[in-house]
Copies of this chain bind each other. A is one copy, B any other.
Amino acid sequence: MKPEMSYEAYRSKLSKIADLGFAGAVLSWDQQVFMPKLGAKARGRQMATLSTLGHELFTGADFGGLLDSLVNDPALTEAQRINVKLTRKDFERKKKLPDAFVEKMALITAEAFGAWVEARRQKDFSLFRPLLEQIVALKREETRLLGFNAHPYEALLEDYEPGLTVAKIDEVFGRVREELFPLIQKILSRPRPDHSFLAKHYPKGKQWAFSEKMIRQMGYDFDSGRADDAPHPFCTTFGPGDVRITLRSDEHELAMMLFAAIHEAGHGLYELGLPLEEHYGMPLGSALSLAFHESQSRFWENNIARSFSYWKANYRTLQAEFPENLGSVSLESFYRGINRIEPSFVRVEADELTYHAHIYIRYLIEKALIEGSIEVADVPRVWNDRYEEFLGIRPSHDSEGCLQDIHWAYGSFGYFPTYSFGSFYAAQLAAAMKRQIPGYDDLTSSGNFAPLLQWLRSQVHSKGREFTSEELLIRCTGKGLDVGDFMDYARTKYGSIYGL
């Protein structure tokens, strides 16, 4: 086989696997957005088939041989070499999971989705527990199949932030406990800014009209995207020109849809900025990691859209949309209101500081589940105890407690830490952008985000998986992960808001 022929065989194979993956994404999106109730059972099987077929195609013995022959092929271009090298790494990892294991996981998580929805509706963890037990048993088996160094949880982290270790997470959250949690306590000792105006009646249609303006201003467009209602906001990619977001809304909670839209559009801009057309289904066309993905959404949601500059650009438009609610609320009051810090039960509604307590709790629980130091039956109690310990509040039922997130129903263990790491990366990227982009603050306060997006595109999005997170951070910001940037951001911003 000629080298270019075999790279073509490689490319064509990954393209087919990507087709199956994106098809699965369409089915999953539809399941959460439009599917009628009785469609659930067959849909689960169908998604399982797509994921099983994709896995079979990827891990087939002939593919290993092809990768082996390609990996040292001098005729490949540099980009091709990187694709093959990273794919071979993925292959080594994925072939450790037998087809039967993958199919079992797909079937159980498909079933678990329905059980989780029902359990959440009925506020009753016991309805979800038997399935979660099966999932945890499978995840424990998965850590044995995949292998690990220091801690079994690391085998699972690899799917979301390659190379991340339990030691590193513990170190980072150690600093969160030492510096962020005391800062939160200090903030909570101060009078809380008024935010009652956010809970006035904001008709959904007008909320969406404003949210749409805001995400268009960021650069998200509807020729290659759309937004739909779903119980849980997410962003999903179906191909190079089709990256969609979902939103939820509350007519008495202005912040919910708006910041979810900006957050998900941040994910969407990353996906749309990947060279996916050129490297369809290949590592260079794929997002680096979930934590880096989250850095993109958090950057727009927090570093931009919760900044004073941002509202200098946009508050007048918002006021004009809702004069009866906001006409007498000053820009400063609004800014303080959307940055009110307050312990709460629901992660996706948390402010940007207490948010990390939510993540830390989930991390502690899933690490304990995977290492076997607690069992699924313990989850509601441990969850509630931890909320009391770190946030001083105790959920009154499981739907505002351990049933609030879909991740475990999907079998996603190791995912949560990426939310915090994403915020920390975002703060570090924002600090670098401020240094590197002339007039960063003026751009923000005039709603001109094109240069910021351009920076992200060239520094982050266009790189795909070329570098590790640590490498990419060094390239973009001059240093590896440094939580100090986030802490500086938090101290400066909230010091000023709360007069600390």
Question: A interface vs B, CB < 8 Å?
Answer: 15-16, 19-20, 22-24, 26-27, 30, 34-43, 45-46, 49-50, 53, 222-226, 228, 238-242, 244, 280
Contacts and interface: CB of A to CB of B under 8 A. Distances in A.
Given A36-B222, A36-B223, A226-B36, A49 B16 contact: yes
Nearest to A50: B23
A27 to B, nearest CB: 6
A45 B253 CA distance: 41
B39 A224 contact: yes
A201 to B, nearest CB: 22
Nearest to A272: B38
Contact of A53 (B16, B35, B41, B228): B16
Given A23-B23, A36-B226, A45 B242 contact: no
Query: Copies per complex?
Result: 2
B223 A37 contact: yes
Given A20-B53, A30-B30, A34-B226, 15 more contacts: A16-B49, A16-B53, A19-B45, A19-B46, A19-B50, A22-B42, A22-B46, A23-B50, A36-B222, A37-B241, A39-B239, A39-B241, A40-B241, A42-B238, A46-B238
A49 to B, nearest CB: 4
A15 B46 CA distance: 9
Given A16-B49, A49-B20, A42 B240 contact: yes
A51 to B, nearest CB: 11
Contacts of A46: 19, 22-23, 238-239
A240 B46 CA distance: 12
Contacts of A240: 38, 41-42
A241 B40 CA distance: 8
Interface of A is mostly: helix
A395 to B, nearest CB: 31
Nearest to A49: B19
Contacts of A50: 19-20, 23
10 contacts: A23-B27, A26-B26, A26-B30, A34-B226, A36-B222, A36-B226, A36-B242, A38-B242, A39-B239, A42-B280
Contacts of A222: 36
B239 A42 contact: yes
Given A20-B49, A45-B15, A36 B241 contact: yes
A41 B15 CA distance: 13
Contacts of A36: 222-226, 241-242, 244
A238 B41 CA distance: 11
B43 A238 contact: yes
A225 to B, nearest CB: 6
A239 to B, nearest CB: 3
Contacts of A38: 223-224, 240-242
Nearest to A224: B38
A40 B223 CA distance: 10
A242 B35 CA distance: 7
A46 B240 CA distance: 12
A194 to B, nearest CB: 39
